[in-house]
Structure 1
Amino acid sequence: MGNKIKKLFKIEYPIVQAGMVWNSGWRLASAASNSGILGLIGAGSMYPEVLREHIQKCKKATSKPFGVNVPMLYPDIEKIMDVIVEEGVKIVFTSAGNPKTWTRWLQDKGITVVHVVSSVKFAVKAQEAGVDAIVAEGFEAGGHNGRNETTTLTLIPMVKEKIRVPLIAAGGIATGRAMLACMVLGANGVQIGSRFVASEESSAHEAFKKAVVGAKEGDTELTLKELAPVRLLKNKFYNNIQDLYKRCASVDELKELLGRARAKKGMFEGDLDEGELEIGQIAGLIHYIKPVQIIVEEIIAEFEEAKSRVGDM
């Protein structure tokens, strides 16, 4: 029968490079696709015409399948979707919104639709909306996350129990061993984000990449649940958030501190003090900045080795 994710996306390995804001431009997406996995352009940090430029450059840089990740809470969503259709993108990952809004519209135009969820409840809703596959993302993941704090280890088998469509695991995955563990739990493939932030092709600022590889266990925390839960690397901005919490700050005060373009300031411009540094807990296991091709080769080699050891057990 073969692997459902490899078949769905026509890729060599059942791995998706996550479409992360300020990290996932055309260079990362094309490098990921050229390495045999599915590369995603992260549209969340792009104006429509900037996205168009990235799609066009990605098409020139790879002949292999790639897609676009679209957080639906962002403005200009209609223009973003129009650009995706006009440029002939065949795979779209949606998140942060109701999958019913765009799934059928995209599928009617020949586009494969995957929706990202952080709970069983929303996995079932995504399946009911008719998506082609689901990404279930555990609490360990970087960036915006679910409020329930359900870990990948428990989320994947619970989602698998309730859905029939192909399942992609995300959150805390950066190694072949973790990939194998998620597939044993019921996933058909994995989505990896943080590991690819610390790649040569990532559009993240070099200072942020170095902060990621320098991170240790406990250096990230999920915060700002009153606005949109986000996992951050601890820095001055994070400490300022905690100071507000100690004073029982209002939602408006939190919004005022967050302001605008805080994520761009941190991840793209490299302000490690005042920027929003979104990264997963697995950063504590990421020690080197490497080319995407090497990262993928290492993950697959470790996956095969781990699978062999499990067989011996």
Structure 2
Amino acid sequence: MTRIETPVTRLLGTDLPIVQAGMSWASSCSALPLAVSNAGGLGVVAAGPMRLPDLDRTLAEVAAGTDKPWAVNLPLYRAGADEVIDLLLRHRPPVLIASQGGPRRYLDRFHDVGARCLHVVAGVEHARKAADAGVDALVVVGAEAGGHPPPAMVATSVLVRAVARAVSLPVIASGGIADGAGLAAMLALGAGAAQFGTRFLASVEATVHDAYKRAVLEAGVDATRTVGRGLGVIRALDNDFTARMLELEAAGAEEALRRKIFQASTLKDAALHGDVSGGKVEAGQSAGLVDDVLPAAEIVAKIVREYRAAREALPPIDDNSGSRLS
């Protein structure tokens, strides 16, 4: 199998520096994580919206379906997070990716069962605190990301470079990355891998409604909006829901009204029921770079081909040209 070795692949034991993002509903299943892990990347089960019996079954399916590394993503703010942690510890996932909370809540217990612990961060200060707490690596999320972008809205290229300069841990870049050229760019900035979310939304195995996948394919790079100021900002594809939220925000509507509209629309409505007009169609700006729905293993292979092409296209340095490099 093709290998691209980096600090992240050495840490996690994967063949490739390709991480499939943990996406609620889309990878709250075994099929997508298994396909990515078996193709050489890191497949990630999204535990966020899952009921305990469903999560229990899914983790057993993933463990039985691969001898490759795989991961679970856990937003620590979810209801019943402590019960989820207890369940995960029984399954001993090779990798835990945690977000929306402090690392000390889980770190020692997962290290005790041999798991690598990655923490999602949205800024340099966050990154330093997580590194000091003892996490094994960082997932650095930039403004282009779908779902929950960083509050300061710093671009991935800038934030990844800043974090790579600030800490000595392996870094996984996330946000606005859809192909092998993006992977090459993130590795050049100091990351050891890239996380792909929206690209894997448009996969055969992603368990979201076909209307959701079509909306991603039809989107341009300028088709997402950030809404929910003061409520937990999300990036989603432009639709009736985002238009209403932007209208209320521009008018300075009271928080109670904005919260009512914001909470009445859900990701589940879009992902499972196909309501791409009124639901939260969470996706990153990279939707404008996604043109097809493919099996996840083909997506991984395509990213590798694109990465090779991007590297080969870089101009060499000619030290014998007669000019001096300063």
Same fold (TM over 0.5): yes
Give yes or no for contact 1:233–1:278 (8 Å, CA) kept in 2: yes
**Mapped partners of 1:263, 1:44: distance in 2:** 12
**Mapped partners of 1:157, 1:276: distance in 2:** 30
Corresponding position of 1:292: 296
Give 1:20's aligned amino acid: M
Deviations 1:244-264 (A, max 9, x none): 213312222222112267110
**Mapped partners of 1:224, 1:81: distance in 2:** 29
Deviations 1:71-129 (A, max 9, x none): 11111101111111112212100011122222223212322100011111101111011
Percent identity at matched positions?
A: 33
2:7 matched to 1:4? yes
Change (3 A) 1:261 1:76: farther
Corresponding position of 2:306: 302
Corresponding position of 2:59: 55
2:17 matched to 1:23? no
Q: Which structure 2 residues correspond to residues 175-190 of structure 1 after superposition, within 5 A? A: 175-190=179-194
Corresponding position of 1:158: 162
Give yes or no for contact 1:48–1:76 (8 Å, CA) kept in 2: no
**Mapped partners of 1:136, 1:30: distance in 2:** 23
**Mapped partners of 2:297, 2:106: distance in 1:** 33
- Deviation of 1:203 after TM superposition, in Å, equals 0.8
Deviations 1:149-207 (A, max 9, x none): 10011111110111011111111111111100111111011111110000000011111
Corresponding position of 1:283: 287
**Mapped partners of 1:219, 1:177: distance in 2:** 21
Identify which of 130, 138, 148 aligns with 1:144. 148
Bigger Rg over Cα: 2
Over 4 Å off, 4+ runs:
none
Give yes or no for contact 1:44–1:71 (8 Å, CA) kept in 2: yes
Aligned pair count reads: 312
**Mapped partners of 2:78, 2:135: distance in 1:** 20
Identify which of 233, 238, 242 aligns with 1:238. 242
Give 2:68's aligned amino acid: K
| SS of match in other structure, 1:199 | coil
Change (3 A) 1:252 1:99: farther
| SS of match in other structure, 2:96 | strand
**Mapped partners of 2:316, 2:306: distance in 1:** 15
Query: Could you say what the CA RMSD is over the residues aligned between the two structures, in angstroms?
Result: 1.3
- Deviation of 1:309 after TM superposition, in Å, equals 1.8
Corresponding position of 2:213: 209
Unaligned runs of 5+ in 2: 318-326
Corresponding position of 2:320: none
Corresponding position of 1:132: 136
| SS of match in other structure, 1:248 | coil
- Deviation of 1:311 after TM superposition, in Å, equals 5.2
**Mapped partners of 2:245, 2:295: distance in 1:** 34
- Deviation of 1:64 after TM superposition, in Å, equals 1.5
| SS of match in other structure, 2:53 | helix
Higher mean displacement: 245-254 or 77-86:
245-254
Q: Which structure 2 residues correspond to residues 18-167 of structure 1 after superposition, within 5 A? A: 18-24=21-27, 25-167=29-171
Q: TM-score, normalised by structure 1?
A: 0.96
- Deviation of 1:268 after TM superposition, in Å, equals 2.1
Give yes or no for contact 1:104–1:130 (8 Å, CA) kept in 2: no
- Deviation of 1:307 after TM superposition, in Å, equals 1.1
2:176 matched to 1:172? yes
**Mapped partners of 2:228, 2:105: distance in 1:** 26
